[in-house]
Amino acid sequence: MSTGRPEILFPLFGALSGLKGIGPKTAVTLAQIGIEAPRDVLYTLPHSVVDRRLRDTVQGAELPGILTVEVEIGQHRPARTKGGAYRVMVEDAQTAFQIVFFHARGDYVSKLLPFGARRIVSGKVEFFDGMAQMVHPDHVLLPDEAETLPEFEPVYPLTAGVTQKTMVKAATDALSRAPDLAEWADLELVKREGWPSWRAALSEAHAPQGLRALSLDSPAKRRLAYDELLAHQLTLALARAQKRAKPGIASPGNGRLRRKVLAALSYKPTQAQMRSIDEITDDMADARRMNRLLQGDVGSGKTLVAFMALLTAVEAGGQGVMMAPTEILARQHLEGLQPLAEDAGVVLELLTGRDKGSERKAKLAALARGDIQILVGTHAVFQKDVEFSDLRLAIIDEQHRFGVRQRLELGRKGLAVDVLVMTATPIPRSLALAQYGDMDVSVLDEKPPGRTPVKTALLSNENMDVVVDRLRQAVAEGRQAYWVCPLVEESEVLDLTAAEDRFKRLRAALGDDVVGLVHGQMPHAEKDAAMARFVAGKTGVLVSTTVIEVGVNVPNASIMVIERAETFGLAQLHQLRGRVGRGSAASTCLLLYQPPLNETGLKRLTTLRETEDGFRISEVDLEMRGAGDVLGTAQSGLPRFRIADLERQASLMAIAQDDARKLLQDDPTLKSDRGQAARVLLYLMKQDQAIQLISVG
């Protein structure tokens, strides 16, 4: 089967065991860590270097340390016992020291270090019994071979059974096979950044001249990282172009329903809201399929933007659906949208797994007839018997809880529905580009009027009594509070015990009817009833595990207590804090921690205290935890890069995206010289599937 791979790359995709130093056994070992071809050896870069520069003497050097000196060889003192120390006295330009071998045969050592000769020795030197000694030198050379020892010796990441020498040999051989490839990067960019060519960058990266050359900011490393990011962004841009090329349905709204809602609002939408609404409605009016991400911080007004999009679908004669990951959230969307739907005069219904029997049948019939114009639901809307009359728009809330597969299923419900994904988790730009690079992005980066800032304070849990007293006072004044219990070792059972224990203690302190409890293990009906009592103001304090993290909206709640706050991630703390400050009352978030706080815990909590900007918080979170953790590795869908670092090279990702989109705009079929070079890059980066996405003609 032909892979279509260009011939120029054949040497890099041959058998690994063809490389110098790699036999069949080593090849199997390396394959286990993803090194399967010479190309993979090229992309396995040294992570550190050993300084092998020649010095005059070991005297005055920082010991223990690796040193390289020229010596004159003196007396040999063979080992007295089997396996004992064989010592050779040597002298450099200023001092004498010993070279030591264990389990050495005398004839081997005398040939290696003949008495009276001069040799260059390189290895680890330490002090022992008042004398410097080098045990088993790494290198012994004749003085006229000095040139063959690199000043800085690369150190490769290893797996059991593979030595540094093997990796050095294999890398040197792989480099000798690397062809000169035509330039795929933008020439202006290469010039501006002072980047070497692809081949030169690899040579430099495998022979780093000092520690600075190992830095991600070195021109060679930046160049190679950029190549990876460009290939990734080209693949996403091709996927995006292919999605957009699929026929969609133009849904041009006439603004009739949207105007009614805007006229009824008691506030003026923010510029960010209006801009996002325009971007979405423009996409919907286009015959190409929309695939857009709406990213907004806690309380940035996503609901209004989403509803305007749904109304556009209805104005165009179709239907819209909005999906949430949980029933609580679906009901909340319903409550938030109901008054807007009344202003617009459209029919809005809810469909969840709880709908059964004749009630469900009636809803499905109304949906199929087109009588229900907007449906809100959980993933129950995926079920086979759910049919729409004319579905135009699907909105998915909290993307990271829905897989790509579910996005596709939803697409199948309508002929060619427009898709809008909403997330309340601000994602750093580099991650958004890596994960959602195939989507267009609208960002809500302003807060609507009327949101009160939340004052955030750090308190040691030794002050628990003070906190309970303040709660008593607040409840007496008619205010409400959340009390979130700690995450206990990722165990729902232990989380539950902690929550029930806190619930009992707070009831004892504040009164039975004042405190409610919700947690993930409760039956739906009980959970909803407890939430409903809190929403209605019947309970003053709601004790919970993190089930209230996303989307719960109680404007009267103005206090958020988070117990053992140091056990939560930054993004999660920010989400939890976003549950308060939704009404007119001054709001507080108390972060209770268990002293002593470690450096990470302290940085996390002080960052939260200092800013309410979710995007800033997400950047700090990324620096602290790494990309996989921020998005939740299991379903993050993040690509694995061998060189590029998403945390520290965010700006490169943005450059790569602009570059990829511009290249495809100018040359959609990648036929130009640069386009052909970009095809080679895609094959080199094993993005063969991207080549199949290139539109024909």
Residue 15: strand, helix, or coil: coil
Residues 274 and 370 in one domain: yes
Query: Of all residues in the chain, what percent carry a pLDDT higher than 70?
Result: 90
pLDDT for residue 412? 58
What is the Cα–Cα distance from 22 to 14, expressed in whole angstroms?
13
pLDDT in tens, 87-102: 999 999 999 999 999 9
Q: Which of 107, 128, 149 finishes a domain?
A: 149
Whole-number Å distance between alpha carbons of 581 and 574: 12
What the block records as the tokens of 556 is 């009267």
**Cβ proximity of 194 and 187 under 8 Å:** no
Region of residue 392 (left: phi > 0; alpha: psi -120 to 50; beta: else): alpha
CA 569 to chain centre: 14
Where does the pLDDT of residue 574 fall: very low under 50, low under 70, confident under 90, or very high at 90 and above?
Answer: confident
Provide mean pLDDT across the span 544-564.
78
Across 95-202, the runs of DSSP E, i.e. the strands, are 96-102, 118-128, 131-135, 139-141, 152-155
pLDDT at 495 over 50: yes
Q: Give yes or no for residue 636 having a pLDDT over 50.
A: no
What pLDDT is stored for residue 324 in this prediction?
85
The pLDDT of residue 1 is 33
Query: Is 478 contained in some domain?
Result: yes
Question: Is 230 domain-assigned?
Answer: no
79-83, 118-122, 163-167, 285-289: least confidently modelled range: 79-83
Structural domain ending residue among the three candidates 109, 129, 149: 149
Residue 473 predicted with pLDDT over 70: yes
- Co-location of 404 and 325 in the same domain: yes
Residue 517 shares a structural domain with residue 554: yes
pLDDT at 22 over 50: yes
End-to-end CA distance of the chain: 24
- Judged on CB neighbours under 10 Å (0-12, 13-18, 19+), 427 is buried
Q: For the purposes of burial, counting CB atoms within 10 Å of the CB of 255, is it exposed (0-12), middle (13-18) or buried (19 or more)?
A: middle
Give dist(CA 261, CA 10) in Å, integer.
Answer: 62
Residues 420, 461, single domain; the answer is: no
Mean pLDDT of 222-240: 90
Exposure of 406 in the CB half-sphere (CA atoms within 13 A): 21
236 assigned to some structural domain: no
Strands 85-91 and 118-128 turn out to be unpaired
What's the length of the chain?
Answer: 697
Does residue 680 fall inside a structural domain? no
- Residue 206 confidence (pLDDT): 94
Residues 475 and 354 in one domain: no
Do 283 and 406 lie in one domain? The reply is yes
What does the pLDDT read at residue 466?
A: 92
Percent of the chain with pLDDT over 90: 46
Phi/psi of residue 91, nearest 5 degrees = -130, 130
Instruction: Assign residue 77 the CATH number of its domain.
Output: 2.40.50.140
Provide the CA 552 distance to its chain's centre, in angstroms: 26
**pTM summary value:** 0.65
Please write the tens of the pLDDT for every residue from 25-41: 889 888 888 889 999 99
Distant-in-sequence, close-in-space partners of 37: CB < 8 Å, separation ≥ 6? 12, 13, 14, 15, 16
Summarize the confidence of residues 397-406 as an average pLDDT.
56
- For the stretch 270-301, pLDDT in tens is 999 999 999 999 999 998 888 898 988 777 88
The average pLDDT across 622-651 equals 62
DSSP 290: P
Across the beta sheet with 319-323, what order do the strands follow?
348-351, 374-377, 319-323, 391-397, 418-423, 291-296, 440-444
- Whether the pLDDT of residue 658 is over 70: the answer is yes
- The model's pLDDT over 452-472, given as tens digits with 9 standing for 90+, comes to 788 999 999 889 999 999 999
Same domain, 420 and 462: no
Asked, for residue 401, whether it belongs to a domain, the answer is yes
pLDDT at 452: 74
**pLDDT exceeds cutoff 90 at 54:** yes
Does 233 fall in a domain? no
How confident is the model at residue 405, as a pLDDT?
Answer: 52
pLDDT at 232 over 80: yes
578 alpha-carbon distance from chain centroid = 22
| Domain of residue 82, residue span | 53-149
pLDDT score, position 212: 82
The pLDDT tens digits for 92-147 are: 999 999 999 998 876 889 999 999 999 999 999 999 888 899 999 999 999 999 88
Give me the number of domains the chain comprises: 4
Handedness of CA 481, 486, 487, 491 (dihedral sign): negative
| pLDDT class of 628 with cuts at 50, 70, 90 | very low
462 plus 583 within the same structural domain: yes
Provide CB contacts within 8 A for 10, sequence distance 6+.
Answer: none
Residues 34 and 81 in one domain: no
> Whole-angstrom Cα distance, residue 136 to residue 184?
47
Share the mean pLDDT of the chain.
Answer: 85
Domain co-membership, 342 together with 400:
yes
Per-residue pLDDT at 160 exceeds 80: no
255 or 424: which leads in pLDDT:
255
Instruction: Place 632 in a pLDDT band, splitting at 50, 70 and 90.
Output: very low
Domain end (from 587, 611, 635): 611
326 with 397, same domain: the answer is yes
Residues 493 and 571 in one domain: yes
